[in-house]
Amino acid sequence: MDCYLKVYGCQMNAADAHLVSRLLQDAGIREVEVSAEADAVVLLTCSVRQHAEDRARGFARTMRGEGKKVIVAGCMGQLRGEELIKEGIADFALGPDEYRRIPDILLGSRELSEVEGLETYSDLLPVDTGGVSASQAIIRGCENYCTYCVVPYARGRERSIPYQAFERQVRHLVDTGVKEIFLLGQNVLAYKHDNLRFIDILERVAGIDGVERIGFLTSHPRDLDYETVQRMAAIPELLHFFHLPLQSASDRVLGMMNRGYTVSDYAERVNWVRRAFPDAYLTTDILVGFPGETREDFEITLDAMERFQFDFAYMFAYSERSGTEAARMENQVPVSERQKRLATLIEKQSEITRLRSQRWVGRSEELFVTAPAPRGEGMLTEMKNHRSVILNHTARPGERVRAKLVGVSGWSVLAEPAVKEVV
C-alpha cells in the first residue's frame, strides 16, 4: 500500500500532515513523492475560502478517476464529508480529530480506531523531515467565532497540549537536527493548561537544550497583553516576528466580525511590539468585502495600511461560508466589488512591502541558513526577525553566517557573506 499526501491551506494543515506521516510510518504504510505511484491519496483540506475547497475537489476527482482510493481529511472532510462521498469524489472523509483512522482505512481494517472528540495527538512523536526548522501545534481548535470564519466549526473547541508532552515532541525534533521551532495554533495566546499560559510555555521551550530559535503563529491581537510582550523581549531565542491579523481597520466592520478589538487597541499592541523589538517583522491578514463593508470602511482600511506599514500582508476577498453568521447577514457585497477592493489593496500593500524590504539593505546581519535556495545558486536564510534572505554563498543548513544585505530582487532580500580579513 503506497500513499500520497496532499496538503492545502494553513500552517496547521502542514503540521497535521506530519502527524499523518507519523501514523502512516507507524502502520508500515509507505509514503510516495508523486501521486502517480500511489494506490491511495490522503488530502489534508482547507475550507476557509471556496477556492481552497474547489482545488481539493478537483484533485480528488482526478485521483478517483485514476482508480485510487481517496481519503479527504481535515477541515473539508469534517464539514463536507457526506456530500463528497455522495458525489463520488471521496471514498472516505475524516475531520481533523480523526486522523488515527487513516491507517485503518488504508489497510482495510474492519474496525476503525476509537477517536476522542477532542484530539491533541500529544503522544505522537514528530517525523524527521531532515530540516532545521519545524512546526509543532501547542493548541488545537478555535472558539473565537469570528463571524466570517468556518474554522471553529471544522476544528472544534480549543484544547491546549500539556507541556510535558509538548516538551517531549520538541526534544525529539531537536534530536533529529531541528534548531528552530514554531509553536502553532489558531490562536496560541489562548493557551491554558495546568496554570500555564502561552508566555510560560515560550520561556520553558527557550530553556530546552538545542532550541536556538523560537517563533509562533498565529496570535489574536485581542489576547496580546503588555506584560506578555515585555516577557517575550527577554527571551533571547525568540524571533522578532509577529503575525497579527487585523482583518479590517473600520471599527464598525471589526464589530460585525466579532473580533473583540478596535483599531486603536490594535495600534496600541503594534506600538508595544515595535518598542520592544525595533527590528520586528510585522505581518497581518486583511479581509475585504465583508457583508456591509461600505466603500468608506474600505477606504479606512486602505489608509490604515499606510499608517501601520506592515512588512507583508496576506489579503483576501471575503468568501461566504455556509453555517457562519456572516453568510446569513444582509448587505453581501457583490463579488465583483470584493475583487475590485482586493486588487486596490494588493496594489497599495505591494508598494509598502517593496519599500519595507529596502530598509534592510546596507545592514550587516547574522543569518540562519535553512535550505538551498529554491532557484539558482545560494542558500535560503533568515534574519533574527524571520525575514527570508537569499545568501550568495554555500553554507550548511543550521549554520549562522554573518552577511551584508546588499539588495532586493522581487520579494527577496539578497546578501553577500561579510568578507573575512586576510592577514
Q: Provide the binding-site residues for ligand SF4, judged by CB under 6 A.
A: 142, 144-146, 149, 151-152, 186-187, 220
Q: Which of residues 363-422 bind ligand 5AD (CB under 6 A)?
A: none
Identity of the residue, 324 or 381, whose beta carbon is nearer to ligand SF4 in the bound complex: 324
Helices (H) and strands (E) in the chain, counts: 12, 20
- Partner whose binding site includes residue 152, from ligand 5AD, ligand SF4, none (CB under 5 to 8 Å by kind): ligand SF4
Q: How far is the CB of 205 from ligand 5AD (least distance, A)?
A: 24
Strands 388-391 and 379-382: antiparallel
Closest CB 149 distance from ligand SF4, rounded Å: 3
Question: Which is nearer to ligand 5AD, 135 or 319 (by Cβ)?
Answer: 319
Q: Per rule CB under 6 A, is residue 318 in the interface with ligand 5AD?
A: yes
- Partner touching 84 among ligand SF4, ligand 5AD, none, CB below 5 to 8 Å by kind: none
Q: How far is CA 275 from CA 192, 222, 241, 308, in A?
A: 27, 18, 13, 14
**CB under 6 A: which stretch of 229-237, 317-325, 339-347, 376-384 binds ligand 5AD?**
317-325
Question: Minimum CB separation from ligand SF4 for residue 421, in Å?
Answer: 50
CA triplet 209, 214, 216: central angle to 5 degrees? 140
93-101 long-range contacts (CB < 8 A, ≥24 apart) are 95/154, 95/156, 96/16, 96/140, 96/154, 96/155, 96/156, 97/156, 98/73, 99/16, 99/19, 99/20, 99/23, 99/73, 100/23
Burial of 116 (0-12, 13-18, 19+ CB in 10 A): exposed
Cell numbers standing for residue 361: 539593505
Q: Give the distance, in angstroms, between the CA of residue 96 and the centroid of all CA atoms in the same chain.
A: 16
**What CA–CA distance (Å, rounded) separates 24 from 31?**
8
CB nearer to ligand SF4: give 96 or 152.
152
* 149 touching ligand 5AD, by CB under 6 A: yes
Instruction: Please report, to the nearest 10 degrees, the dihedral formed by the alpha carbons of residues 219, 224, 230, 235 taken in order.
Output: -20
Pull the grid cell for residue 87. 458525489
Q: Contacting ligand 5AD (CB under 6 A), which of 57, 80, 220, 321?
A: 321
Minimum CB distance to ligand SF4, residue 190 (Å): 9
CB 107 within 8 A of CB 138: no
- Choose among ligand SF4, ligand 5AD, none what residue 319 binds, the Cβ cut-off being 5 to 8 Å by kind: ligand 5AD
Positions 56 through 75 that interact with ligand 5AD (CB under 6 A): none
Helices 198-206, 226-233: axis angle to 10 degrees equals 0
Neighbours of 372 (CB within 10 A): 14
CB 413, CB 387: distance < 8 Å:
yes
Contact string 8-37 vs ligand 5AD (x = CB under 6 A) = ------------------------------
What, of ligand 5AD, ligand SF4, none, does residue 318 touch, CB below 5 to 8 Å by kind? ligand 5AD
Which of ligand 5AD, ligand SF4, none has residue 220 at its interface (CB below 5 to 8 Å by kind)?
Answer: ligand SF4
Nearest-5° Cα angle at 202, 360 to 199:
105
Interacting partner of 144 out of ligand 5AD, ligand SF4, none (Cβ under 5 to 8 A depending on kind): ligand SF4
Q: Which residue number, 31 or 285, has a Cβ lying nearer to ligand 5AD?
A: 285
Binding site for ligand 5AD (CB under 6 A): 48-49, 148-149, 245, 247, 285, 287, 316, 318-319, 321
